Structure 1
Amino acid sequence: MAKKKEPFDLAKHLAERLAKQSAKAPFLLRITQWQGAPVPVLVVKERQYRDPDEGAPGPDGQRRRARPVLIERGNLCGEPLHRCLPLLRRIVEGVTDPAGVPLELARYLTAEGMRIRGNLPLDEEAGAKLALIFRLQDRIKDLDRVELIAYRVRQFTREEAAYWLSRTTSFGPIANRWALSGLRTMLGGHTDDKGVAEMLERLRLAA
């Protein structure tokens, strides 16, 4: 008789395999909950290296090593989360460890997986794409536009995702706000635009 396969232990996998990758990953996807917000809340954080002393030398005269800082790039919860969830799973499916072995992150973007609280390691491509989706959907009430934006961001290359994320995070509050506004229109059209439903249907059929 074949040995019965043991069920996948999400908590064990998170603690034993993903935690080690999370310590160095360029982005993290945090599954959490916030007071007053629908449960769960997904938060994307980017790891950057900053010198708090602006490059001032240490006591030995050597420049101090920059320390890692996690910067929140966006969050997603409620109806926009549930509408985008299948696309988010597709985006994280390609994340692997340094040896190229898949980390099986999509298991955590399910009803069962999102009961777990913790950090999932993301590579640059998945992290930038999720950060863009989370930032762009903010303040959009039309869920068709939110889903359309998610589809189109998913089609970006790694370089495109990194470029557009930098345009919305690295040029000061005003320029960042303008970049987000322009990208929302470029990727998701305008409210009440009949082309939104048409383009969304084409992308759903092609997926």
Structure 2
Amino acid sequence: MFRLIGSIPVLGALLKIANTYAYGGDYRASEEFAGLALWIKRFAVPLMLALVLTLCTVWPIIPHAVKSHELSFSHATDFVQKPGVFISSVLPSLLGFGIGVYALIFGLAEPFVRQFRKLIDEQIKAGEISHGSVLMLNSDLAFPLIVMVVGIAVGALQQANLENQSLILITWVMFWYSLIVMIEMISVIFRLAENSLLDKGLNGDENTKAVSDVTQGD
């Protein structure tokens, strides 16, 4: 089933990236589903948070929707009714930033990548984690980009179907979910930068000590 869906253009690419993201970059992600438990663990909390933020955004229409048992944005502000315009103005800039960072990942120092791979292998052997690989760096950066691309596409559809009430709600969910995964992406960048700086700092200390030893020897 996984290979069948994976062979479908566009949908297959989305599935493989999302599955690798859920699998923590595990090598098996290209051959099998990560499993429902891993998907729930990876996606449930961000999606729930996106739903909560969406409800906060469209809150003015909630009382009317509860009373009339009908979803209608006719009583909402123009801003709330047209999330497609907002999402199309915000996400492209974030997408450009993300693609730039994603390209820089290939410039990571080789020793750091080896160290990261060693850490993952040690955690798997120790039973701390049951899956994962150094490829999680790739999936943790690629998945937010895919989410933003889908968000832009949903925003465009919403602008083309302004009267579709459900699409308005979905667009707001996609907007907030895109921001959430962007924050996760920044978190990954932060950890990478932190480790890189610490690694350089340690090397710097070693170089300083070496220079000091040579000076004392003279």
TM-score, length basis structure 1: 0.29
Q: As a proportion of its length, which structure holds more helix?
A: 2
Greater RCO (CA < 8 Å, at least 6 residues apart): 2
TM-score, length basis structure 2: 0.28
